[in-house]
Amino acid sequence: MDIASIVGLVMAVGLIFWSMLSGSAPISVFYDLPSVLVVIGGASGAVIICFPLKTVLNLPGVVKKVFLNKTESVPALIEQLVSLAETARRDGLLALEGRLGEVKNSFIRLGVQMAVDGTRPEAIEDIMRTEIDATATRHRDGKAMMDQIGRFAPAFGMIGTLMGLIMMLADMSDPSSIGAGMAVALITTLYGAIVSNVFCIPFAEKLSFYNKQELVRLEIIVRGIMAIQSGENPRVVEQKLNTFLPPKLRPKEEAA
């Protein structure tokens, strides 16, 4: 659960709603279904063209990640790898099979399983790194989609406003309707700006931050698995992996 994402979103959306409510006009002036469809639908259509279908279908998962990213702690991760290294050192690689049940991280499980199966070290590393690359690409595509929606939403907002203005200007026989016509025309630009600045751009930034963090964790796991596989001393494994931690978070004996 990402508190910052929720607090920030509630804050931005709340203030916009409060501001709409506190004005003299009824809040209904801010709602117009065709405008919603042009901005959201148009931007979605453009983004669907941009990416392969598989990537587009991944969008709900991408959005979910902004709010529910599991921030597995790095020290706990290192602890688990060191504990697996102890088992491997004491009872042999095959003993790791009995501990697979308690490992939740599927990437660790993949590595341990391959070690237990006796896969060659180079093959293990190659497969894990290919998996990391695929993860990085999937993450990058997720962020890129957010960036693109954030770019197309204002553009379709402008397209909607231009259409509204043209319709209004083409028929000005009833002067009293001009204001309302322009109000409706501007709504798409407002929608585009909100979709882009309240949702897409901040989401893309948060995803970019998570991606960097996730890649560090995957790198730690690969190095841990390789060390376990080669039967290294658990203390050495710990020291190696701890170099990924800022000194404050390192256990005391490291500095000694």
Give the x-and-dash track for 179-198 against a second copy (CB under 8 A): xx-xx--xx-xx--xx-xxx
**Residue 146 lies near a second copy (rule: CB under 8 A):** no
Stretch that binds a second copy, among 78-86, 96-104, 113-121, 218-226 (CB under 8 A): 113-121
Q: How far is CA 149 from the centre of its chain?
A: 14
Compute and round to an integer the Cα radius of gyration of the chain. 26
What is the spatial distance between Cα 241 and Cα 245, in angstroms, rounded to a whole number?
8
List CB contacts of 247: < 8 A, sequence separation 6 or more: 255
Amino acid at 130: T
Stretch that binds a second copy, among 79-87, 96-104, 204-212, 227-235 (CB under 8 A): 204-212
Stretch that binds a second copy, among 78-86, 89-97, 99-107, 116-124 (CB under 8 A): 116-124
Report yes or no: 43 and 149 within 8 Å, Cβ to Cβ. yes
Enter the tokens of residue 134: 């695929």
Site residues (CB under 8 A) for a second copy, limited to 211-240: none
**Residue 29 lies near a second copy (rule: CB under 8 A):** yes
Site residues (CB under 8 A) for a second copy, limited to 36-65: 37-38, 41-42, 44-53, 56
Amino acid at 256: A
**Residue 142 lies near a second copy (rule: CB under 8 A):** no
What is the spatial distance between Cα 193 and Cα 152, in angstroms, rounded to a whole number?
10
Stretch that binds a second copy, among 7-15, 75-83, 89-97, 99-107 (CB under 8 A): 7-15
**Residue 148 lies near a second copy (rule: CB under 8 A):** yes
Sign of torsion over alpha carbons 54, 193, 212, 96: negative
Task: Kindly tell me which residue out of 10, 68, 100, 236 binds a second copy, with binding defined by CB under 8 A.
Answer: 10
List CB contacts of 95: < 8 A, sequence separation 6 or more: 87, 88
**Residue 23 lies near a second copy (rule: CB under 8 A):** yes
| DSSP assignments along 101-139, one per residue | GG---HHHHHHHHHHHTT--HHHHHHHHHHHHHHHHHHH
Binding-residue total with a second copy (CB under 8 A): 91
Task: Kindly tell me which residue out of 167, 230, 236, 253 binds a second copy, with binding defined by CB under 8 A.
Answer: 167
CB of 98 to a second copy, least distance (A): 21
CB of 175 to a second copy, least distance (A): 10
